[in-house]
Chains A and B, each alone.
Chain A
Amino acid sequence: MRALIVLVSVSLSMLLTACSNPRQEVTVQLANEVLLPAHQQWRDSNAALVDAVETYCAAPQASADDLETAFYQAQSRWSHLQPLMVGPLSEGNRSWQVQFWPDKRNMVVRQTESLLDEADPLTRAQLEKASVVVQGLTAFEYVLFDESVALADSRGRYCPLLTGIAGHQLALSESVLALWNEPGGMLAQLRDFPNERYATADEGLAAILRTQITGVDVLKKKLGTPMGRLNQGVVQPYQAEAWRSRQSIENLQASLQGAQAVWERVRSLVSDAALVKDIDQAYAAVANQLAALPAPLMVLVQEPAHRETLATLYAALDNLENRQQTELARNLNIQIGFNANDGD
C-alpha cells in the first residue's frame, strides 16, 4: 500500500509539472537557481575563510590582507543570503550562530574576551559549547578589525578562536546545505507538491516572498538603527551592522541584490505592468543611492551634512518594502503574515 501511495504521489507531481503551472515553475526556478546557489556560495565562502585563517595563523609574518578579504566575502555571502533563507537556516536559532546583531550591550567583546581568559588556548569543543555570541562572524570581525585587539602580536590567544569560528561556520553551512539536498529536503519541498511542508506551490512561493519581504524590512533596521530611528533621533554609529569592518553599506548592497534576485523571477507573474515598473524603479532607486554613498555608514550617520541623504535612502527602502508588502502581495494574492507576526 505504501509503495502504491508513493507512486501515485510521484506520478501526480510529474503531471503537475508537465501542466506548466507558472507559479510552480517560478517557485522551482527560485529554489534551483536562486536559493540553493546562494546557500552553496555561502558555504564556499566559509570554506575559503577556513583556508585563509589556516594560512594566516600558520605564518607568523603573514599580513592579514587575505584574511580580511576572505572575511569580507563570507560576510557578503551571508548578507546576500539573508533575504533568501527560507527553511533550515531560518529555523532552530541557526542564523544567530552566523551573526550576532544587533549587539546593544557590546556583548561580543565581553564574552569573547572572557571566554579567551577562561580557556587559553581555546579548543573547538569549548567554542561549540559557548554562546552563539562568540560563534559567529561578529566575534570574528571584532578580533580582526577592532582597534583594541593587537592580532598580529597575539596570535596565540586569538588564532584558536578565528580557526574555531571559521570551522563552525563551515560546519553550519554544510549542515544547512545537507538539509536542502537530502531526499525530501528543502529543495524537494519547493519542487514536489504537496509535501511535508507545503500543500501547494503557492504556499512555497508565499514562504519565499515572506522571507524576502522580511529581508527588506531588516535592511531598514540595519540602516535606521545607526541613524537613531530607534533612539529618539540620537545617532548610534556603533550599532551599525559591521561597523568594525566598515562594511555596512557593502552588506546592504549584497542583501538588496539577494532580494532583487527573487523579484527578477517573480516579475513575470505580476499582472499589473505599472506595478512592475514601480517595483523595478524602487529597486533601482535604493541601489543607486547605496552606490553613491561616499563613506562608511558609521561615519555618515555622524555627519549632519549627510542626514538628508540617509533619510532619503531610508524612504526609498520604505517605499520598496511597501510596494512589495502591500501591492505585490495583493497582486499575487499572497498572504504576508497573520498569527506569526502578531500573536497572543
Chain B
Amino acid sequence: MSLTRRKLLGAGAAMAGVAALGGWALWTGTAGESPLLLSARNDDAGQHYAVGYYLNGKRAFATPVAERCHAVARHPFLPVALYVGRRPARESYLIDLRDGRLLQTLHSQPDRHFYGHAVFHARGEWLYTTENDTREPGRGVLGRYRLDQASLRLTHDGEAATHGVGPHELAWMPDGESLVIGNGGIRTEGGSREEMNLDAMAPSLVIMSRHGELISKETLADAQSSIRHLDVAADGTVITGQQYHGPAYNSVPLLAIKRPGEAYQPFPVSRAQLAMMDQYTASIAIHSEQRQVAMTAPRGNRFFIWDLDSGDTLLDTPMSDCAGVGAVPGGFAVTSGQGKCRYYDSRTAEVQSQWLELPGGWWDNHLWLS
C-alpha cells in the first residue's frame, strides 16, 4: 500500500517528535550492538577519509587518505575492508576495521584506474574491482586481486573483460560465483572524469562468471541512460539505477529490474517521481527480508522506498544530498552529503524516520553496513 503525501506529512510530524525525544528509540540493533557503517567521507577542509561509525553515533575510526574514495568492500570474515578510489583513482585503501589502521595502499596497474567499486569473494581470498583500460579507453576491466590472509596484503593476480564500456558497480549473484556488473557505457580517458561519448553511449547490464565468461548481456531502450548502481536480492532479483545524459526535461526510466529468468526492463516508477530525481540516481539498496528497494537521488534531494514486487511506493521524501543507503534490521540507513543522516523504519506502510547521531554532511555516495 502506498503512502499518500498527506499521510506522509502526518508521519513527518511524528518523525519529528521521535527525533526531538533524542533517543535511539526505534531501533536498537542486534545483540545490543550497533552496526558499523563504513564509508568515504570528507571534512570541511576537503581532506578525504576512510571512516567507520557505529550507527549509534560512536566513531570507530577516521583514517586520512590521499584520494577520495567511493564505495567500500568489506571482507567476508576478516576485520578489513577496501575503500575503493573514486574514478579515475590510482589508489584504494585496505583498512583494519579494529583501529582504522591503513594496512595497504593498493595501486592500480599501469594503464588502469579504479572505477570506485569492488567486492570480496565469499571465501575471502579474492577481490574483484571495476577498472578502466586507459590504452583502450572505456574498455571495461574486471581486476582480480589475491588477499594473502597472513600478511593482509592484496596482490594483483589478473583481469577479465566486463564485456562493456565504463563499468561501475558490481555485486554477487546468489550463487556467489557470478557477478552482475553495470557497464555505464561512458568512455573516459586517462586521468579524466570527462565523458567522451555522450552521443554514442553503450550501457549494458552484464552477468558473468568471476573468471570472465559472459552469461548474459542486456541493454535498456535509451542508450543515454548510464547503468551505474545496483543491488541484488537474496532471490537473485537485480535492481539498477541509471543516470540519464539526455535533455534535463525528458522523462525516461531511471530504475530497472531483472527478475530471475526474466528480461531486464524498467522498474515501474511514476513520471512524477522520475521528475523529482533530476535524471540522477545514486545508491541502491535492497532489503531482502522486507522485499523492498531504496534509492537515493542526491541531485533531486529525494529518497525513495518501493515494494520490490508490486512497485508500490512506501516512501517518497525530501532529503538533502542523500548519499549512501544500506539495509538494516527494520529498514534503511541513509547518509547525506549535506545534512543529517537518517534511519527509516519501513516495516509497516507508515514509514517512520529517525535522525541518526552521526556527524552531518560530507558523506560520500556509498556505505557498507555490517
Residues of A within 8 A of B (CB): 2, 5-9, 12-13, 87, 91-93, 96, 100, 131-133, 182-185, 192-200, 203, 206-207, 210, 333, 335, 337-340, 343-344
From B17, B70, B272, B355, give the contact of A5 (CB < 8 A): B17
Q: Is B147's beta carbon under 8 Å from chain A?
A: no
Q: List 27 A-B contacts (CB under 8 A).
A: A6-B17, A8-B20, A91-B275, A91-B276, A91-B300, A92-B272, A100-B249, A132-B249, A184-B10, A192-B16, A194-B15, A194-B355, A195-B13, A197-B317, A197-B318, A203-B320, A206-B338, A206-B339, A210-B338, A335-B44, A337-B337, A338-B321, A338-B363, A339-B282, A340-B321, A340-B338, A343-B365
Distance in angstroms between the alpha carbons of A108 and B24 in the assembled complex: 54
Residue numbers in A under 8 Å from B340 (CB-CB): 199-200, 203
Q: A196-B317, A340-B299 are in contact. Are A203 and B338 (CB under 8 A)?
A: yes
Q: Contact between B301 and A194 (Cβ–Cβ < 8 Å)?
A: no
Residue numbers in A under 8 Å from B12 (CB-CB): 184, 195-196
Q: Contact between A196 and B14 (Cβ–Cβ < 8 Å)?
A: no
Tell me the minimal C-beta distance from A96 to chain B in angstroms: 4
Q: Contact between B282 and A343 (Cβ–Cβ < 8 Å)?
A: yes
From B15, B44, B276, B362, give the contact of A196 (CB < 8 A): B15
B window 345-370: CB within 8 A of A = 353, 355, 360-365
Q: Contact between A8 and B17 (Cβ–Cβ < 8 Å)?
A: yes
Q: A195-B12, A196-B12 are in contact. Are A92 and B275 (CB under 8 A)?
A: yes
Q: Using an 8 Å CB-CB cutoff, how does the interface string of B200-242 with A read, 1 for contact, 0 for none?
A: 0000000000000000000000000000100000000000000
Tell me the minimal C-beta distance from B298 to chain A in angstroms: 4
Residue numbers in A under 8 Å from B323 (CB-CB): 338-339
Residues of B within 8 A of A (CB): 8-21, 42, 44, 70, 86-87, 116, 168, 228, 243, 248-249, 251, 272, 275-276, 280, 282, 298-302, 317-321, 323, 337-340, 353, 355, 360-365
Residue numbers in A under 8 Å from B249 (CB-CB): 93, 96, 100, 131-133
Distance in angstroms between the alpha carbons of A194 and B356 in the assembled complex: 12
Residue numbers in A under 8 Å from B14 (CB-CB): 2, 5-6, 9
Q: Contact between A335 and B361 (Cβ–Cβ < 8 Å)?
A: yes
Q: Contact between A340 and B20 (Cβ–Cβ < 8 Å)?
A: no
Q: Contact between B8 and A196 (Cβ–Cβ < 8 Å)?
A: yes
Distance in angstroms between the alpha carbons of A184 and B7 in the assembled complex: 11
Q: Contact between A183 and B282 (Cβ–Cβ < 8 Å)?
A: no
Distance in angstroms between the alpha carbons of A5 and B17 in the assembled complex: 5
Q: A5-B14, A338-B42, A338-B362 are in contact. Are A203 and B339 (CB under 8 A)?
A: yes
Chain A residue with the shortest CB-CB distance to B280: A343
From A8, A96, A184, A340, give the contact of B298 (CB < 8 A): A340
From A12, A193, A194, A196, give the contact of B318 (CB < 8 A): A196
Residue numbers in A under 8 Å from B360 (CB-CB): 199, 203
Residue numbers in A under 8 Å from B355 (CB-CB): 194, 199
Q: A6-B14, A194-B355, A195-B12 are in contact. Are A339 and B298 (CB under 8 A)?
A: yes
Q: Contact between B364 and A339 (Cβ–Cβ < 8 Å)?
A: yes
Chain A residue with the shortest CB-CB distance to B323: A339
Q: Contact between B20 and A194 (Cβ–Cβ < 8 Å)?
A: yes
Tell me the minimal C-beta distance from B203 to chain A in angstroms: 15
Tell me the minimal C-beta distance from B41 to chain A in angstroms: 10
Distance in angstroms between the alpha carbons of A183 and B361 in the assembled complex: 28
